[in-house]
Amino acid sequence: MSKRDTLRQAFFALLLATIVHASKADDVAVLSPMTQEYANLLNPMVDEQLIPGYYLSVYKNGQQVVDLSLGFADEEANLLPGQDVLYFIASMTKPIVSLATLKLVEQGQLNLTDPVKQFIPEFANVLVVPEGDLDNPTEELGRDITIHDLLTHTSGLTYSQDITGREEIAKVYADLGLFAIDGLAESKLGSLADHVEQLVQLPLVFQPGEVFVYSVGIDVVGRVLEIVTGKPLDIAIAELVLKPLAMTDTHFTIPEAKRGRLAAMYSPRVATYPIPGVYRRYQPYQNLPKGHQNFGVSEAGYLSGGAGLVSTARDYAKLLAVMSNGFRVGQKQYLSPQIGNQLFRNQLPAVLEDEGLVYNFGPSANKTGFSYGLGIRLIEDGNLTRSDDHDYYFWAGAANTGFWIDLKNDVYGIFMTQHLPTQYDRTAEMVEIAR
Amino acid sequence: MDSRNVNAAKCRRVIRSLFIVVLFGVSVPSLFAETVEYDQAKLAEIKVLLDGLYEKGQIPNYAVEIRKNGKSVYAAYRGDTELGGSVPVGPDTIFWVASMGKPIVSSAVLKLIQDGDLSLDDPLSKFFPQFESMVVAPMGDLDVPFEIARAPITIRNLLTHTSGFTYNPLVLGLGDVAYQYAELEVMSQKFSLAENLEMLAQIPLVAQPGASFNYSVSVDVLGAIIEKVTGKRLGEYLDEIFFKPMGMTDTAFRVRPEARKRFARFYTPESLRNPASTIAGSEIEWQIVETAPFGLPYDGWGQAPTFDSGGGGLYSTAQDFLKYAEMVANGGVLNDVRYLSAEIAAIHFQDLMPELGLEAFEVAFGEAAQYMKFGGGFGIKLEEDGSDRADYYFWGGAANTFFWIDGQDGNVGVFFTHIWPPRYNLSDQIEALVDGARIVK
């Protein structure tokens, strides 16, 4: 009986929450028309119970102009979404590690053209199985893999089938748990170094520099950073990026004291539902260690430069501010624009034109280029070589977080929710609303 | 607790005597008005609704049709059985209608009641003694003290999902017990029906029989009772009493090999992990990708089953299912052939557990189940004006198939597409459009 009462209470709490939201919606109405437009776009996802809640932050000319949320960041703990709520940002780690790499380039400790084997000798001997199909004859490396290849996903490495890997070898990654998402909480393979040691035993799926294959490349960069700096990746990233940018809420493993601000992870609820109407289409993510509401709690994972970070919208905005502001932190130059601006140039082989990302992300990813950890969306009939034709820069995390930088309009925005895998990407519409 | 039970028992006795009145005292010629007309322009809104989803690439196809008095009132079919395929979806496209088998099995139980082979309050243990003394884990929680079942599970309980059985978590199962169902794979095709029953009898119930609604394997248990009573396989019996005489040639627990080209594939929303691909020759930007419900790839669906699962194993078409719905709506008659007596057919629409309030459905279905009651194998959606009038009688299937019978004029409707898990539970909206199109004279 008591459990049923709990359920009933939960039901009433939900009703109450709806009422609170209703009054909150009234507040929104007196806010800016832009905020209202964002609410019109995003609120239905919560109202239709696709996700438990979201947070959106938009900045224009360096000032926050939208601070919008609805629902819950953790339903069980009654945690409301906000700019100081910690979210697992997954692949939004990649731009941070890319920036750290450029910082090392500036310090003269590394060149983007350096072959990876200079740091991890086993990369000299990896083989290639074209298209990742184990039936194809094995080839030797046509040329060495470089840091540039790793940062642009053109190294020939791939991802586990659980993420975006689509080749036969991606299945081998999955079977081994190689750079698996769930390994971030509990690694089957051990440390970052152990993962790399396993990775070099497997063949590449394409020759380096040929095809954009979304990959563990930036995880390998993470290992290179460890080797170059002589420090574990979390320390290296903290020193190269997080501390200089005052990103105080960005962690691979959050301190215990911040646990109460950590959002819960959700995933699609796969269930039959034989009656009409709207019902809850998400459920708590099932693959975390017992008692953990999200990634970023456990020390038993590996340090992932590709996907390991937990951050807040307020913190991530600091990164986007630096990138939008000529790589200055306040008045101080953090990174030379000459090096930093590499992030705003298409770094993919010209032969891929603007179709490179379609291989992994489907037809909606056409008209897109890629720099270092950052996608480049083109305007209609645009050309990637002309920076004037770049509509906006963006990337997203596997748990449905995303950001964009609209340099021409001096706008950037961050969207946070926790739904693994991403099913509700509204970036294109969000970019338009701020214009 | 004791006084409550006495009340419940008293209540049941009263209801039973009411039934006797219904069964023998009153004749039920026709529940619904004979003639009715609809505004075709308003009905066309149905197509607008579904075209919106189709053209945005959110559903692969759709089949929708409304019938009244043996005539099609409205029909719209669009898309192919497969994205990029060349077999258009039509009245004869085969869908996995899954839980929509439940009302059909319930109709067969009612037929056996009519024939005197069963009665509503027969205990399950009369047919399967292993269910004689059951243990109850309240709310399916294995960490609280178990109770002894205080009442036998009856046919009435099985028809209304008040047996105390549950389902695995993928089918809205309750508590730890649902995970036991999943681990042991209870009511799966891995085992024979007899083996499944053996396992089921050894797992605690999640509630006292008759005390609450829990969506469950109950209808598979009814299937087992039918097999026991008739000595026939469930599919064979349904063929004999309903499918063959009504001409429901594509309704079965399998897809005939020669019919397979008409069997629609399954789709799920795209994700970053699983992006949609371009379909050659299609102008639509698809936002869905083919999927394998319950992990079973397309080729595995429609194969001959180990046992005929009345709860979830049925395949059918729009034209077939509409025949069944019309037979029920017409008080047991289709094309001048009587399949059920009017009195028996009326039980489909009667609240068989009136002592359960509207909140009984919250646990299984949440908020969306407001205004819901349960009849003889049919969900009853009440009008939302607080009255007891039925808006419609209905049920749906796991891969986004729905049917309904209007409560006012008895028109019948189906809406089928194959999205897994179901996402476009639109029967309420479509039914409301039909209601709105009815011309009141």
Q: How far apart are CA B160 and CA A211, in angstroms?
A: 58
**Is A411's pLDDT higher than 70?**
yes
Q: Which residues contact B10 (CB under 8 A, 6 or more apart)?
A: none
Most distant CA atoms of chain A, gap in Å: 69
Angle between helices A192-199 and A217-229 (to 10 degrees): 120
Of B144, B422, B427, the CB nearest to A272: B422
Asked if B139 and A3 come within 8 Å (Cβ–Cβ), the reply is yes
Torsion over CA: B359, B365, B370, B376 (sign): negative
Q: pLDDT-based confidence at A8, cuts 50/70/90?
A: very low
**Which residue, B339, B314, B88, is CA-closest to B220?**
B314
Radius of gyration from C-alpha coordinates of chain B? 21
At residue A132, does pLDDT exceed 80?
yes
More confident residue, B387 or A152: A152
Report CA A103 to chain centroid distance, whole Å: 20
Which of these ranges, A135-139, B31-35, B93-97, B243-247, has the smallest mean pLDDT? B31-35
pLDDT band at B247 (very low <50, low <70, confident <90, very high): very high
Residue A278 confidence (pLDDT): 84
Kindly write down the DSSP assignment for every residue of B117-130, as one continuous string: S--TT-BGGGT-GG
How much of chain A, in percent, has pLDDT values that exceed 70? 93
Chain A: residue whose CA lies nearest to B100:
A274
Q: Mean of the pLDDT values across residues A354-368?
A: 92
Pairing of strands A310-311, A282-284: unpaired
This prediction has a pTM of 0.87
Sign of CA dihedral A381, A383, A389, A394: positive
Chain mean pLDDT for chain A: 92
Structural domains in chain B plus CATH codes: 37-99+250-439 (3.40.710.10), 106-235 (3.40.710.10)
Give the pLDDT band (50/70/90) at residue B31. Answer: low
- Using the predicted structure, report yes or no on whether residue B265 has a pLDDT greater than 90: yes
- Asked if A87 and A261 touch (Cβ cutoff 8 Å), the reply is no
* Lowest-confidence pick of A95-104, B90-99, B379-388: B379-388
- Whether B17 has a pLDDT exceeding 60, the answer reads no
* Nearest-10 Cα torsion for B25, B410, B400, B43: -170
Closest Cβ–Cβ partner in B277, B379, B428 for A363: B277
Tell me the chain B residues in contact with residue A362 when contact means C-beta distances shorter than 8 Å.
270, 275-278
Residues composing chain B: 441
3-class state of residue B315 by DSSP: strand
Q: How many residues does chain A have?
A: 435
**Tens-place pLDDT, residues A68-116:** 999 999 999 999 999 999 999 999 999 999 999 999 999 999 999 999 9
- The pLDDT > 90 percentage for chain A reads 88
Query: Which has more pLDDT, B31 or B319?
Result: B319
Q: Do A162 and B273 make contact, defined as CB atoms within 8 angstroms? A: yes
Lowest model confidence (mean pLDDT) among A1-10, A314-323, B6-15, B184-193: A1-10
Decide if pLDDT at B14 tops 80: no
Whether A276 and B169 lie within 8 Å, measured CB to CB:
no
> In the prediction, which pLDDT does A294 show?
97
Pick A299 or A179 by higher pLDDT.
A179
pLDDT single digits (tens) B291-315: 999 999 999 999 999 999 999 999 9
Question: Do residue B362 and residue A8 have CB atoms under 8 angstroms apart?
Answer: yes
Inform me whether the pLDDT recorded for B26 exceeds 60.
no
Q: What strand order describes the sheet that includes A63-71?
A: A63-71, A53-60, A411-416, A402-406, A390-396, A375-378, A368-370
Helix or strand run (H / E) with residue B401:
strand B401-406
Which of B83, B168, B273 is the best mutation test for A, with the most CBs of A within 10 A?
Answer: B273
Confidence of residue A245 (pLDDT cuts 50, 70, 90): very high
Asked if residue B212 has pLDDT above 50, the reply is yes
What's the CA gap between B33 and A271, in Å, rounded? 38
For chain A, the C-alpha Rg in angstroms (whole number) is 22
Residues 6+ positions from B263 with CB-CB distance below 8 Å: B81, B93, B94, B255, B301, B302, B315
- What's the first-to-final CA gap in chain A, in angstroms? 54
Type of residue numbered B295: G
Sequential DSSP letters for B273-284 = TB---PPTT--S
State the pairing for strand pair A411-416/B412-416: unpaired
String of DSSP letters for B11-46 = HHHHHHHHHHIIIII-----SS-S--EE-HHHHHHH
Q: Are the beta carbons of A4 and B276 separated by less than 8 Å?
A: no
Long-range contacts of residues A268-271, Cβ cutoff 8 Å, at least 24 apart:
A268/A419, A268/A423, A268/B421, A269/B421, A270/B170, A270/B421, A271/B169, A271/B170, A271/B171, A271/B172, A271/B421
**C-alpha span between A373 and A237 (Å, rounded):** 15
Q: What is the mean pLDDT of residues B34-58?
A: 94
Contact residues, chain B, for A268 at CB < 8 Å: 421
Q: Which of A369, A371, A383 is nearest to A347 (CA)?
A: A371
pLDDT, tens only, B68-84 = 988 999 999 999 999 99
Interface test with A, best of B187, B215, B272 (most A CBs within 10 A): B272
Contact yes or no for B174/B226 (Cβ under 8 A): no
Confidence of residue A20 (pLDDT cuts 50, 70, 90): very low
Best CA proximity match to B393, nearest among B380, B402, B403: B380
Cα distance between residue B353 and residue B348, in whole Å: 12
Mean pLDDT of A149-153: 97
CB under 8 Å to B371, separation ≥6 — which residues? B358, B381, B382, B383, B384, B391
**Closest chain B residue to A267 measured between Cα atoms?**
B271
**H runs (alpha helix) in B144-269:** 155-159, 175-184, 193-201, 218-230, 234-238, 244-246
Rounded to an integer, the average pLDDT of A409-432 is 96
Instruction: Supply the pLDDT for residue B274.
Output: 87
Nearest to B335 by CA among B33, B71, B111: B71
Name which of B139, B144, B368 is nearest A278 (Cβ-Cβ). Answer: B368
Instruction: Tell me if B5 sits within 8 A of B380, measured CB to CB.
Output: no
pLDDT band at B363 (very low <50, low <70, confident <90, very high): confident
pLDDT at B11 over 90: no
Q: Helix or strand or coil: residue B416? A: strand
d(CA A91, CA A224): 18
Tell me, what's the pLDDT at B30?
Answer: 59
Residue A353 has pLDDT above 60, yes or no: yes
ipTM of model: 0.82
| Residue range A19-23: mean pLDDT, rounded | 42
Q: Which residues of A touch B (CB under 8 A)?
A: 1, 3-4, 7-8, 11, 14, 162-164, 268-281, 360-365, 396, 398, 421-423, 425
Helices vs strands, H then E, count in chain B: 13, 17
Residue A28 has pLDDT above 80, yes or no: no
Cα distances from B250 to residues A125, B92, B401, in angstroms, run 59, 8, 16
Mean pLDDT of B43-66: 97
- Exposed/middle/buried for residue B41 (C-beta within 10 Å: 0-12, 13-18, 19+): exposed
Q: In this model, does residue B28 exceed pLDDT 60?
A: no
Instruction: Tell me the shortest Cα–Cα distance from A333 to chain B, in angstroms.
Output: 36
Q: What is the predicted pLDDT for the residue at B277?
A: 85
Given a cut of 80, whether residue A34 has pLDDT beyond it is yes
Structure tokens at A279: 């019902």
Question: Per mean pLDDT, which range of A53-57, A299-303, B213-217, B280-284 is the poorest?
Answer: B280-284
d(CA A186, CA A298): 7
- Which among A8, A274, A277 has the least Cβ separation from residue B397? A274
Q: What angle do CA B350, B355, B361 make, to 5 degrees?
A: 80
Average pLDDT of span A313-325: 97
Mean pLDDT along residues B51-70: 96
Spatial CA neighbour of B269 closest among A415, A181, A421: A421
**Cα A85 from Cα A429, distance rounded (Å):** 24
Is the pLDDT confidence value at A394 over 70?
yes
Confidence of residue A27 (pLDDT cuts 50, 70, 90): very low
CB < 8 Å to A425, chain B: 272
